């Protein structure tokens, strides 16, 4: 991997669509104020800082998870944490990345 590949954003559209086809739960980890400004219909809202307290709830969904936030940073943190705790999860990046596929259904 070259140095510049570290800064290239990976196109997640295929992976997002695959996860949605598997019945993935969209997990929005933004603040309540951000959530109230707009979010994907049917998404679950758990603020990033409280993810460790809610791992058992997330695991109880028994579904793959797509973590989202405003830019992809916080959802990346949530993804890494949840993967380390045995959750099948991907970082969907900004919530609009996933929302565009939900709207087209």
- Which of 66, 65, 74, 58 is CA-nearest to residue 98? 66
What is the chain's pLDDT, residue by residue, as a tens digit (105 residues)? 344 444 445 667 889 999 999 999 999 999 999 999 999 999 999 999 999 999 999 999 999 999 999 999 999 999 999 999 999 999 999 999 899 888 654
Instruction: For residue 20, give the 3-state DSSP assignment.
Output: helix
pLDDT value at residue 13: 85
């Amino acid at each position: 991997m070259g140095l510049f590949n570290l800064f290239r954003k990976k196109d997640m559209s295929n992976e997002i669509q695959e996860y949605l086809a598997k019945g993935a739960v969209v997990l929005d980890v933004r603040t309540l104020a951000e959530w109230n400004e707009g979010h994907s219909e049917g998404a679950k809202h758990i603020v990033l800082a409280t993810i460790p307290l809610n791992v058992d709830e997330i695991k109880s969904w028994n579904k793959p998870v797509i973590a989202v936030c405003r830019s992809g940073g916080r959802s990346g943190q949530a993804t890494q944490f949840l993967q380390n705790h045995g959750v099948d999860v991907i970082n969907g990046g900004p919530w609009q990345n996933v929302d565009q596929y939900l709207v087209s259904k």
